[in-house]
Amino acid sequence: MIVMGGIIGAGIFTNPYVVAQQVHTPFLILGAWAVGGLIALSGAFIYAELSSQSSESGGQYVYLRDALHPLVAFGYGWSLLFVIQTGGMAAVALIFANHVFELVGVRVTDLRAALLASAALALLTIINCIGVRAGSVTQNVFMVLKLIAIGALVAFGLTISSPAQSAGVTIPTASSATLGQSLIAFGAALIPAQFAYGGWQTACFVAGEVRSPRRNLPRGLLFGVLGVIVVYLSVNYVCVHALGAEGLAQTKAPASAVMRLALGERGARFLAAGIAISTIGFLSQSMLTAPRVYFAMADDGLFFKQLAWLNRARVPAIAIALQGGLAIVIVLVASRFEQILNYVVSVDIIFFGLTAVCVFVFRKRNQGRGDFFRIPGHPFTTAFFIIACCVITFSVVYKEPLNCAISLGIMLAGMPAYFVWAWLRRRRVERETESVSG
């Protein structure tokens, strides 16, 4: 449930139209989601092996620190704060805003969506900072709502007999595209799919709090990702079946559009309400995940110690407030879901690939040990994941060079920041040593 709940947010209700804008046939649309699922599954294999060798909370940060270098791990934590986590929160908040407007019947504009998304982020940040956290029962309710919405979407979507036709709007076809252009388009289609599949890795953040993590985390990762693949392929099949490839590419709220065709406006509003509510629950819960990484960085003396500070309610309020503030800035500056999507994925996928490299390092160190989960088909499955990360990175840089330049620039800005904190830590250790010897 942790793995599936971390993956199934709101992207699956929106991202099908982004995929359909890149590839324009039902086969390629479903193919992109199937390949995205295989990438996520191969990534789950990798994180299952890594988590079975380390029970320390912090996930990717710990793996990168111990296998590669603290600089690489710091770059990940830095990017998590300024790009990955905050950008992901901004994107989910925009999905919430779009479905709220769909629910009340108001025309969606980029400005309206940005303002409502910012207000939602601000409210949730304040609530989480003062310690009014959603408990496990509440989160399970949100998860059930998502599953009910998905089940209703699939069941009623299959009752629609023919694809809806868009009103005189056409999209370019891929018939005249070269092989290279087609591959780049398919790589670009993997970007929103990868974003929707993202989240399985966050289960490793809480490895230190899971009973028998070396056994339970690998199982949870693999079965959770397999379950999500089934759910996502079902949703996309229904969207293509009901709307057609062209209609899907023109519909920013495809799930609601399918329900409108099946049950009329009441059906669309029912699904929009379910998506909006579950999105808020997902967003609220995700706000408390990344501070575990900041805590690990601060514990290593490589980040602001204030970000690991807990208030009386045992909540990392400063870290949550900073995250929320940065997410609001991203929403207001970018304002479009597709822009934020590329902004986040361009950096996130780089660290996925680097984390996969950690498998080779740990295997070399742990030769002779057999008490950890081993990736089936390694090194081929691991290499497949790394190559897929490279393809997606190239595609997003090619398609959105400006957004990528911004996010990659922020990531690289972490390098001088790391050396500053490393110097400060060294000076602090020297002073403590002098004090003890004196």
CA distance 217 to 5: 14
What is the structure's pLDDT at 420?
Answer: 92
Kindly provide the residue ranges of all beta strands, DSSP E only, lying in 58-165, ordered along the sequence: none
What is the structure's pLDDT at 213?
Answer: 62
CA distance 361 to 6: 28
Q: Does residue 160 register a pLDDT over 90?
A: no
Q: Does residue 164 register a pLDDT over 70?
A: no
What is the structure's pLDDT at 104?
Answer: 81
Q: Does residue 174 register a pLDDT over 60?
A: no
Find, among 414, 411, 223, 202, the residue nearest to 288 by Cα. 202
- Confidence class of residue 134 from pLDDT cuts 50, 70 and 90? very low
What H or E segment, with its residue span, contains residue 100? helix 85-104
Is 2-429 a domain of CATH 3.30.230.10?
A: no
Q: Is the peptide bond before 379 cis (omega within 30 degrees of 0)?
A: yes
Whether 63 and 355 have beta carbons less than 8 Å apart is answered as: yes
Q: Does residue 25 register a pLDDT over 70?
A: yes
What H or E segment, with its residue span, contains residue 235? helix 213-249
User: What are the structure tokens assigned to 203, written together?
Assistant: 């289960």
What is the structure's pLDDT at 338?
Answer: 77
Domain extents in the chain: 2-429
pLDDT, tens digit, for every residue of 207-226? 555 566 667 777 777 888 89
359 versus 274: which is more confidently predicted? 359
Distance of CA 119 to the CA centre of its chain: 21
- Confidence class of residue 120 from pLDDT cuts 50, 70 and 90? very high
> Residue 222, CB half-sphere, CA atoms under 13 Å: how many?
15
CA distance 363 to 88: 32
What is the structure's pLDDT at 367?
Answer: 76
| DSSP line for 354-369 | HHHHHHHHHHHHTTT-
What is the structure's pLDDT at 386?
Answer: 94
pLDDT, tens digit, for every residue of 57-93? 677 888 999 999 999 999 999 999 999 989 989 988 9
What is the structure's pLDDT at 370?
Answer: 66
Per cent of the chain over pLDDT 90 is 27
* Angle between helical axes of 85-104 and 265-286 (0-180°, round to 10): 160
Start-to-end CA distance of the chain, whole Å, equals: 54
User: Mean pLDDT over residues 251-280, rounded?
Assistant: 84
Per cent of the chain over pLDDT 70 is 88
Q: Does residue 31 register a pLDDT over 90?
A: yes
| Cβ-Cβ contacts under 8 Å for 93 (sequence gap 6 or more) | 117, 118, 120, 121, 283, 327, 331
Helix ranges restricted to H, 250-316: 254-263, 265-286, 291-299
CA distance 260 to 262: 5
pLDDT, tens digit, for every residue of 268-280? 888 888 888 778 7
| Cβ-Cβ contacts under 8 Å for 406 (sequence gap 6 or more) | 343
> Residue 431, CB half-sphere, CA atoms under 13 Å: how many?
6
What is the structure's pLDDT at 207?
Answer: 54
Task: Tell me which residue has tokens 């940060």.
Answer: 61
pTM for the structure as a whole: 0.82
- Confidence class of residue 139 from pLDDT cuts 50, 70 and 90? low
